[in-house]
Amino acid sequence: MTTRQLLVPALAALLPLLAACDDGAAPTSGGIAPKVMADALHAVMESDRTVYTKMVVNRLMNEDKVIRASEHFADDKALPLPAQMFRFGSEMVAEKTDVFSYQLLSMWPINQQNAPRTEIETAGLKFVAENKGQNYYGAETLGGKKYFTAVYADTAVAPACVGCHNGHPDSPRSDFTLGDVMGGVVVRIPVE
């Protein structure tokens, strides 16, 4: 039996348990609470994102000046931007599962597609920007479906983040400094 054959039934068995606790905080008997699942998924996303930014983009572009990162990375034979890496991953996940979805958004987006759309997204982005170190959790109903939605701060972890956004012609903000909250990661888990 392959790992996949083992994992799929295991995940299917977890779903009713996830559905049973829509406030996201209640532990389930043996299941994973949506909040625990969202926090764990976000830990992986944030780590991968930081590693790519620091060890690939910032090192090769700003320190060693070997190659740059570009929105038009294919034409420019350059590295994809950290936000593009993140979006490609998120799009691939969306093709594979509907157990959760995630996006990188901001109140000051370079790309208007990355502006908040729902009330919870707007409230969450504002909250994580104003309360450093804290996450935002809420419940929302979209298209008749109930979701547990978590918002996590997306922070300027490297000089490359700040330099590129402050200098980008489409950026509505040019005063970011290292350590600032620049946006947020929204993780959404259906609970019904």
Question: What are the C-alpha distances in Å from 40 to residues 32, 44, 45, 121?
Answer: 10, 7, 9, 19
Distance CA 143, CA 106 (A): 23
Identity of the residue numbered 126? K
Contacting residue, 156, 187, 189, 191, with ligand HEC by CB under 6 A: 156
Are 18 and 158 in contact, with CB atoms under 8 Å apart? no
- Judged by beta carbon, residue 38 or residue 81, the one nearer ligand HEC is 81
Q: How far apart, in whole angstroms, are the C-alpha atoms of residue 103 and residue 121?
A: 10
Binding mask 86-105 for ligand HEC (x = CB under 6 A): -x----------------x-
Query: Which CB atom, from 35 or from 165, has the smaller least distance to ligand HEC?
Result: 165
What would the two tokens of residue 108 be?
Answer: 């000051």
Alpha carbon distances (Å) from 155 to 17, 37, 148, 165: 33, 21, 23, 12
Interacting residue with ligand HEC among 21, 38, 45, 69 (CB under 6 A): 69
**Segment contacting ligand HEC (CB under 6 A): 93-101, 129-137, 141-149, 151-159?**
151-159
Binding residue for ligand HEC (CB under 6 A) from 160, 187, 189, 191? 160
Residues near ligand HEC, by CB under 6 A: 53, 57, 69, 71, 81-84, 87, 104, 106, 109-111, 114, 154, 156-158, 160-161, 164-165, 168, 182-183
